Chains A and B, each alone.
Chain A
Amino acid sequence: MMKFKNWDIQISKNYPKTWILGLHIYLPLLAFLYLLFYGLGWAYYTADMPGFHEIEDYSFGITQFSILPMFVIAILFSIRQVKFNSLRVHHQVPYKYPYRYFFAFFTVFLLITSIPIAVNFGLLHKLGGQIDEVKFIKDLPVLNKGYTHFYQSNFSSQIYDKDVPFKISVDEEGYETQTSRYIIVGTYRMDERIDSLIISRSYVHYAVSGSYIGDTSLRSYAKSGWDTIHLNDVLVQIEDFKKVAPFYEGDLDNPSIVGLEIIKTHYMHNAANGNLEERDQENFDLIKNNSRFKEVVDCYASIITKNGPLNTTKGSFWLYYITFPLSLSLLLFTICSVKITDFGWSLLVSALTGMILMLINGLFAISTNYGEEVQLVLNLFLVTFIIVLFLFMIISKKVKSTISKAFTISFQMFFFFLVFSYFGIFDALHDCPYMGIDRSELCKNYEYFESSNYYLFAYSLCVVLVLIGIGVFNGVYTRKYIHPKN
């Protein structure tokens, strides 16, 4: 303990800013936790390729456990900054380099808040090492094509082509259409010439227009079509599947069965029924353990595409994830830039503003029959009004200094959220009156952006505004309240 104290004092003598940030304590601690949770991810038992839900459960369990140290460290770090870093303001040491401190806070918070994600990196590296990605990508089309001939249940067959990108085209009516990635096998029969197999596959087509809300011409519709495959191709597909599937635990009930037998069985059955309509098809399953086969292929696909918890290892996840440490560092930067009592007043201002906003929204919702769209416009007006009001309170010389200061601090804290709420409102106003491509939510209809680009633009703009806001706030606050003479 004495050795630690002496070392601690030496750090404060030689590197005071490092000491204030507590990097000499938190960096080793964080490194230890990263190794620990990464190791827990790496230690996952993978002798048999697990079902992906098992990986999800494991990741979720460790993440839950790792949230606790994350919270403790985040709180301790914040307290340390409030204790020591804010003293630089309170004790009249000029706060010269706001960005330096902001980015220091941001970096530390990024490291702290990503502790729970370390387990997923461990899992990814372990599982990624277990599978042969190149082989799987090569095998996947073979499995997709061949599976149709080995398994059919309730007239459908799962096709493993999740990574096939959407095919986007503009049809003759000017609608942008996208073909669904899921192909449903409906009918399986030989045509009259006996040299080709006709498979009815339903293609879901989806119409998206670049028009505005209220355009009743917008519609979505599905199309279906027929696939005709030459018999020789079918035989190749079957033989290829037989070779590839066992690697993914897709062993056949009868490994020696030949393609013609399979086709004949299906054809004979359908012909015997005398009715080749879709609903007369019989289910068939030639795979020994179909659910296990699907589980293994799903798991391979999920690992390669980084689905579920592994999504946290993608760059796109981190792009948006930094909002979290960004908000925390903005909050801490604000606390450390002002006196605690002033910060308390600003919290009151923020809470009251939020409460009034919600109250107006609530009253509007229960007392009027206007739809969601009108309420969104109302919120647009309210947010604009709040920004104008806050700017007035900050700039006006008629407002008491203490009140003006509280509004300045409060504005700095939720300016980010105000701007983001603008984009949220605009986003909601751009909902189409029908479901989106993935059928889970309403489609979006932006005039100038693709949906994903819109969010990226909104997000980037918010981040830039936060960075500008820090400089402006620091300048205004310093000029008005900390070093008022300059």
Chain B
Amino acid sequence: MELFRAEGILKHFPRSNFRLSIPSLTLAAGSITGVVGENGNGKTTLLDIVAGESHGEGNYSYFSNNIDSKSKWLELKNNIGFIPQRIPRWFGTLEQNLILKASLEGISPNDIDKELDELLDFLGLQKYRKLKWTEISTGYRLRFELARVLIGNPKLLVLDEPLANLDINTQQKFLSDLKELLSKKDYPLAVILSSQQLHEIESVADQMIFLRQGQVVYSGSLEAIAEEETTFLYEVQLIHNDSLTVEAVLKKVSSEFKKVGPYYQVTTENDVSSFLSSLTKSDCELKYFRNLSQSTKRFFN
């Protein structure tokens, strides 16, 4: 079931001459879509357009409805939950804000406590509900913001860089919460989120979109990347005093590799087991290994 469909998304910034152009984008119920790419390539712009925070040319359909009037759009927008990169601070206690949101959303006063309890239990926020915004960490702020957005029972969740400023454990907890949320919700819900944490996003995403200079370099499932590519891509870090020795080892395995930071990215036709066995036979100690064959990271230059 498609919750969002757009054809010909176009946004032009004349001053910087940046043009975001997405031929089509579909977000299906129960799916998580990750938007990745280097900084300044249009991720936030795309999410702003999807969330209705920014205008973009094109044809848009939300929840199988076209936007044909103001009232219709406001009604549809009520079903979009958007968490921006910089979350505005909350005033008063966290609980008070959630109660207010629930009340404004029209939840019956008698049901508010029950709904909040369930939500806060699910997100592990129960013991923080009486605190204030300034008394909790960034990770908890994000989860409270997620709780606030979820109170409205949005059908489309748009999260801009939610993992920024979160430690690795919190990132994983947040993503697993999202995944669990999709499975628990008894109504259709789609999530689209942007992040620089490629591997973390890819671990939960059903669909990935890679943007470069406003253009879609890749859009599809991670499995499809492997199907499209005939070679494997691995990222390794080998320990040896002499870097020439390391490169000599890699040359034995593949003729195509490049140094990216402390790592080497190796393109080869060998599958994982044969690649690893080749490396372990060498004089170098294998310190780090990651299979990028099914990752959008292979699109980064």
Contacts and interface: CB of A to CB of B under 8 A. Distances in A.
Interface stretch (A8-16, A293-301, A369-377): A8-16
Interface in B144-184: 148
Contact of A92 (B54, B82, B99): B82
B70 interface: yes
A400 interface: yes
Contacts of B72: 486
Interface stretch (A83-91, A116-124, A165-173, A460-468): A83-91
A297 to B, nearest CB: 58
Contacts of B55: 480, 484-485
B53 interface: yes
Nearest to A398: B14
A486 B74 contact: yes
A19 B99 CA distance: 11
B88 A91 contact: yes
Contact of A14 (B52, B53, B69, B109): B109
B157 to A, nearest CB: 12
B103 A14 contact: yes
Nearest to B15: A400
B67 interface: yes
B100 interface: yes
A92 B156 CA distance: 13
B136 to A, nearest CB: 18
A92 B112 contact: no
Contacts of A9: 96, 99
A246 interface: no
A53 interface: no
Contact of B103 (A12, A479, A480, A484): A12
Contact of B60 (A84, A94, A96, A485): A485
B77 interface: yes
A13 B109 contact: yes
A16 B103 contact: yes
Contacts of B53: 92, 484
A91 B148 contact: yes
A480 B52 CA distance: 11
Interface in B4-43: 14-15
Nearest to B108: A13
B120 to A, nearest CB: 15
Nearest to B102: A13
A84 B100 contact: yes
B260 interface: no
A90 B90 CA distance: 11
Contacts of B82: 92
Given A84-B91, A93-B104, A483 B77 contact: yes
A19 to B, nearest CB: 7
A20 interface: yes
A96 B75 CA distance: 11
Contact of A94 (B78, B92, B96, B112): B78
Contacts of A91: 88, 101, 148
Interface residues of B, number: 31
B73 interface: yes
Interface in A1-42: 9-10, 12-14, 16-17, 19-20
B240 to A, nearest CB: 52
Contacts of B96: 9, 12
Interface of A is mostly: helix
Contacts of A479: 70
Contact of B104 (A16, A83, A486): A16
Contact of A16 (B52, B69, B100): B100
Contacts of B233: none
A485 B92 contact: no
B80 interface: yes
Question: Among the interface residues B77, B78, B148, which one has the most CB atoms of the partner chain A within 10 A?
Answer: B77
B74 A94 contact: yes
A48 to B, nearest CB: 54
B77 A12 contact: no
A260 B80 CA distance: 97
A304 to B, nearest CB: 51
A13 B99 contact: yes
B92 A83 contact: yes
Nearest to B106: A16
Contact of B112 (A13, A87, A398, A483): A13
Nearest to B80: A92
A84 B67 CA distance: 29
A87 B74 contact: no
A251 B96 CA distance: 70
Contacts of A480: 55
A486 B91 CA distance: 31
Contacts of A87: 88
A9 B92 CA distance: 12
Given A96-B74, A486-B69, A13 B103 contact: yes
A90 B87 CA distance: 10
Contacts of A19: 100, 103
A479 to B, nearest CB: 8
Contacts of A90: 88
Interface string A61-94: 0000000000000000000000110011011111
B100 A485 contact: no
Contact of B52 (A10, A400, A483): A483
Interface string B39-60: 0000000000001111100001
A76 B60 CA distance: 43
A20 B100 contact: yes
Contacts of A400: 15
Interface string A85-112: 0011011111010000000000000000
Contacts of B100: 12, 16, 19-20, 84
B215 to A, nearest CB: 22
Contact of A485 (B73, B78, B109): B73
Nearest to A479: B70
A85 to B, nearest CB: 11
A486 B80 contact: no
A366 to B, nearest CB: 40
Nearest to B74: A94
A13 B70 CA distance: 29
Nearest to B95: A9
Nearest to A95: B74
Contacts of A17: 104
Nearest to B88: A90
3 A-B pairs with the lowest CB-CB distances in the bound complex, closest first: A484-B55, A486-B73, A16-B103
Given A484-B52, A485-B77, 4 more contacts: A9-B96, A13-B112, A484-B55, A485-B55
Interface of A: 9-10, 12-14, 16-17, 19-20, 83-84, 87-88, 90-94, 96, 398, 400, 479-480, 483-486
21 contacts: A12-B99, A12-B100, A13-B99, A13-B102, A13-B109, A16-B100, A19-B103, A84-B91, A90-B88, A91-B101, A92-B51, A92-B77, A94-B74, A96-B74, A400-B15, A479-B70, A483-B52, A483-B70, A485-B55, A486-B67, A486-B74
Interface of B: 14-15, 51-55, 60, 67, 69-70, 72-74, 77-78, 80, 82, 88, 91-92, 96, 99-104, 109, 112, 148
